[in-house]
Chain A
């Protein structure tokens, strides 16, 4: 079992819809969880982090964390074509982050 798992996609949604990206992790001791966005040919860019159970909202983005289920998700409301990218989930482990393989999101106009 991989330490951090994501569906590789591609996930395709129409413009204006809600995109839901999911991530599971294996280390119950993990305390902090991150979502990065990576455009093709660019570096990963931090968009959100969460460390408490529940939801955290930032603009069109909502991160959801359920530590009991070892599950973290990212919702993107009113998806735009500019949201088309690969989304990487990362989980803290000591002083480092463990990254998932990423989910490719495509938002169709």
Chain B
């Protein structure tokens, strides 16, 4: 059974460019999470979706960040325009349980390492 799939695995771009990160959750999972991880700030939740609907985007740092989930098997995180301080590892995770409760265990994808020059 495939886990969470993310692409690209590495992205190097120049300041001001648009960056799009992609995620395919585990089939049957109804919650999807986007995280950012840096040495300074650790693992931060940016946004999460339940049944394709954004539930909490309070972690999105600013309007340059946007996320969509057009269907149950695909989500994107877009940064436009990108800045050097956006450099980080971005993880997508999915969970088989969401707002209805349960254990909420999350399974992480391999991450996208973003470098903005």
Q: Which residues of A contact B (CB under 8 A)?
A: 31-32, 34, 42-46, 49, 51, 88, 90, 92, 94-102
Residues of A within 8 A of B88 (CB): none
Chain-A contact segment, one of B18-26, B66-74, B100-108: B100-108
Interchain Cβ contacts under 8 Å between A and B, 28 examples: A32-B103, A34-B105, A34-B106, A43-B91, A43-B109, A43-B110, A44-B43, A44-B91, A44-B108, A46-B106, A49-B103, A49-B105, A51-B103, A88-B43, A92-B103, A95-B31, A95-B55, A95-B56, A96-B33, A96-B45, A96-B104, A97-B33, A97-B45, A98-B45, A99-B42, A100-B42, A102-B42, A102-B43
A74 to chain B, nearest CB (A): 15
CB within 8 A of B99: which of A31, A94, A99, A102? Answer: A94
Total inter-chain residue pairs, C-beta < 8 Å: 53
Closest beta carbon of chain B to A53's beta carbon, Å: 16
Instruction: List, in ascending order, chain A residues with CB within 8 A of B110's CB.
Output: 42-43
Question: In the complex, are the beta carbons of A45 and B42 less than 8 A apart?
Answer: no
* 10 tightest A-B CB contacts, nearest first: A43-B108, A99-B43, A101-B42, A95-B99, A95-B98, A92-B104, A44-B108, A32-B103, A43-B111, A43-B110
Q: Does B50 contact A (CB under 8 A)?
A: yes
The B70-117 residues at the A interface (CB cut-off 8 A) are 91, 98-99, 101-111
Extra contacts besides A88-B43, A92-B104 (13): CB < 8 Å: A32-B102, A32-B104, A34-B106, A42-B110, A43-B108, A43-B111, A46-B105, A94-B56, A95-B56, A96-B33, A96-B56, A96-B104, A100-B42
